[in-house]
Structure 1
Amino acid sequence: MKTGEDARGARSEGSQNLGLCVLCGLPAAGKSTFARALRHRLQLEQGWAVGVVAYDDVMPNVFLEEVTARPLPSQWKLLRQELLKYLECFLLAVITGCQMSAPPSRTQAMWEDFITCLKDQDLIASAALEAQSQYLLTKTAVSRPLLLILDDNFYYQSMRYEVYQLARKYSLGFCQLFFDCSLETCLQRNGRRPQPLPAETIRLMGGKIEKPNPEKNAWEHNSLTIQSLACAPEASLKLTDLLLTALENPIKCVEDDVEQKETDRIICSTSVLHQADQTLRRIVSQTMKEAKDEQVLPYNLKLLAEDLNKLKAEFLEDLRQGNKKYLCFQQTVDLSDVISFFHFKKDNIVQKYFSKQH
């Protein structure tokens, strides 16, 4: 029997076809409605096993509790990564033919919601083994092609790339569906929901969303833009072709990048970079504390944290690679200049969120 570590690259030509499909787009763009309809159609027409993992169904209560409990800017990102670990547990069980084991470290409420999600879609069975945190897969999950549809906004490419990395790790199929719905339409639909998001939250996300760019990013070549939920016959054929292509052409598993490891080692040994990293982290944490004191809405706190952490990452990348996106004013970088300019860019971001509260 294969262990979890052995499963890396263990999939053979005759093994079960497995794939991950990422849905991305603004809130109220129609992703969840589309996902449910697509699941039903693929089950009937293709005979596949299909699971829809809606992030809003698994993570919302956990997030709201955490964001009001303490000012951790990276908490939402950590929860997303934790959910990917749950998906990995399930995929490992499918690949190895074993029972699914719960991860040793988990957020219990989120894990239970994830388990319920899989049970409701006939992918794992209820059994007495749950007392030992072991879960039996159903015949449906292991006897036919399996597609997991991940339903979230995924508005940054980096969010989608994390899913791609999981697919690459286990040689799975991977594809993306981008919902090209106008901001005005999303705002109107959101307003009709029983529990609508703040309109400003959707507007902020609309200004930040990064559409799939296959010409720039080779890993995004299996992408399709969905213009209408009606899904005309031509679009339906394109979608089926995309999903078939993804399942039948899994990403090649690659070994750990030795060159990247060496780059990371050099980066860690650079004192200026280390100091900058520590200082920028403190600035971001302090800013998030101020945002909470200003009573910025919880969902906007999440967006602000992502904006600030993205800015921090871009500054650090400038220091690592010399890309000169921000630090183009001098040949040699002084830490005080980095911090000063970071404050300037950070304040521009913060104004978008704080000003809306008054």
Structure 2
Amino acid sequence: MSACLLILIGLPGSGKTTLAGRLCAQLADIYHLVHVEYDAVIDLEEQVRLQAARAAGDDDDAWRAARRALEAAVEAMLTGGEVPADTLPAVLRQPVARPAGRPAGRPAVLIIDDNMYLRSMRYRFFQLARRLRLGFAQALLATPDAECRRRNATRCRPVPEAAIDAMAGRLERPQPARLWEARSVTLPADVDLNTEPADEERFAEAVSQLLEAELECSVTDA
């Protein structure tokens, strides 16, 4: 299957959704990009509740169930299975595995836009990639914690500070020395996608090269 998963990693407010939008605009002539935004899948108020509960050490089962639903929906998109109507927005309930589901000649890239601060979260998507013989790549947005908190505070429904603190304290950066994390790229902490267009273009090119390398081979080893 000519497809790749691109996992975005970063705290709330790090710029993941901004990056996904820029990649979809800049790389549209090369790839069929599908932006799977966790905020569009799980209601933000419910996310806030789950994140706050998990930060307090409660309701872990509900948090895991929400994540498993997203994983199952992504797999259904890739295999041509049925995606439950209440799991993904209509625009995302299109199979990308079938020729009719994507433009001819363009590999499909699913951008998984979530915090992904734990390696175990990302590894589950790697396992999916390995099972379906997809490419797998990661992009870390190393935005400083203070800037993430500042941006988060300007949102209509900000993520609780306790949840951000918990994520920041546990964030596990990709380790390219691990075989399954070899295809990883980091957006430096001093780059702001909203003010540095040249850096944005360079990073988009770095991501594109990463995807190209992954699409040339299959994921077979952990």
Give the aligned partner of residue 145 of structure 1: 107
1:59 has 2:27 as partner: no
Give the aligned partner of residue 169 of structure 2: 207
Distance in 2 between residues matched to 1:245 and 1:180, nearest whole Å:
23
Give, in angstroms, the shift of residue 186 of structure 1. 0.6
- Contact 1:66–1:75, Cα closer than 8 Å, also in 2: no
TM-score, normalised by the number of residues in structure 1: 0.53
Give the aligned partner of residue 83 of structure 1: 70
1:245 has 2:213 as partner: yes
Distance in 1 between residues matched to 2:42 and 2:152, nearest whole Å:
19
- Contact 1:63–1:76, Cα closer than 8 Å, also in 2: no
Matched to 1:251, the amino acid is V
Give the aligned partner of residue 167 of structure 1: 129
Matches within 5 A, 1:1-20: 16-20=1-5
Distance in 2 between residues matched to 1:245 and 1:88, nearest whole Å:
22
Structure of larger gyration radius: 1
Alignment counterpart, residue 118 of structure 1, candidates 83, 86, 92: 92
Alignment counterpart, residue 79 of structure 2, candidates 81, 88, 92: 92
After superposition, what is the alpha-carbon deviation per residue over 1:63-96, rounded to whole angstroms, capped at 9, x for unaligned? 469859xx64222112211211111111112xxx
1:145 to 1:64, Cα distance in 2 relative to 1, 3 A: closer
Listed as ranges, the gaps of 5+ residues in structure 1 are 1-15, 94-99, 125-135, 255-358
Give the aligned partner of residue 223 of structure 1: 184
Give, in angstroms, the shift of residue 204 of structure 1. 2.2
Distance in 1 between residues matched to 2:113 and 2:164, nearest whole Å:
17
Give, in angstroms, the shift of residue 151 of structure 1. 0.1
Give, in angstroms, the shift of residue 139 of structure 1. 3.0
SS in 1 for 2:28: helix
Give, in angstroms, the shift of residue 203 of structure 1. 2.1
1:50 has 2:33 as partner: yes
Distance in 1 between residues matched to 2:208 and 2:175, nearest whole Å:
20
Distance in 2 between residues matched to 1:18 and 1:86, nearest whole Å:
16
Distance in 2 between residues matched to 1:92 and 1:65, nearest whole Å:
31
Give the aligned partner of residue 193 of structure 1: 155
Matches within 5 A, 1:178-327: 178-215=140-177, 217-227=178-188, 228=191, 229=193, 230=196, 232=199, 233-252=201-220
1:49 to 1:236, Cα distance in 2 relative to 1, 3 A: closer
- Aligned identity (percent) is 30
SS in 2 for 1:19: strand
Alignment counterpart, residue 14 of structure 2, candidates 23, 29, 36: 29
Distance in 2 between residues matched to 1:91 and 1:54, nearest whole Å:
16
- Contact 1:21–1:176, Cα closer than 8 Å, also in 2: yes
Listed as ranges, the gaps of 5+ residues in structure 2 are none
SS in 2 for 1:184: helix
- Contact 2:45–2:157, Cα closer than 8 Å, also in 1: no
1:51 to 1:220, Cα distance in 2 relative to 1, 3 A: same
* Cα-Cα RMSD: 2.8
Matched to 2:119, the amino acid is Q
TM-score, normalised by the number of residues in structure 2: 0.83
SS in 1 for 2:60: coil
Larger RCO (CA within 8 A; separation ≥ 6): 2
Give, in angstroms, the shift of residue 207 of structure 1. 0.9
Give the aligned partner of residue 41 of structure 1: 26
- Contact 2:48–2:159, Cα closer than 8 Å, also in 1: no
Matched to 2:92, the amino acid is L
Higher helix proportion: 1
Distance in 1 between residues matched to 2:144 and 2:44, nearest whole Å:
28
- Contact 1:23–1:179, Cα closer than 8 Å, also in 2: yes
SS in 2 for 1:149: strand
Give, in angstroms, the shift of residue 200 of structure 1. 2.9
Give, in angstroms, the shift of residue 61 of structure 1. 5.7
After superposition, what is the alpha-carbon deviation per residue over 1:162-213, rounded to whole angstroms, capped at 9, x for unaligned? 0000000010000000000001111111111222122232122111100001
SS in 2 for 1:147: strand
Give, in angstroms, the shift of residue 234 of structure 1. 3.9
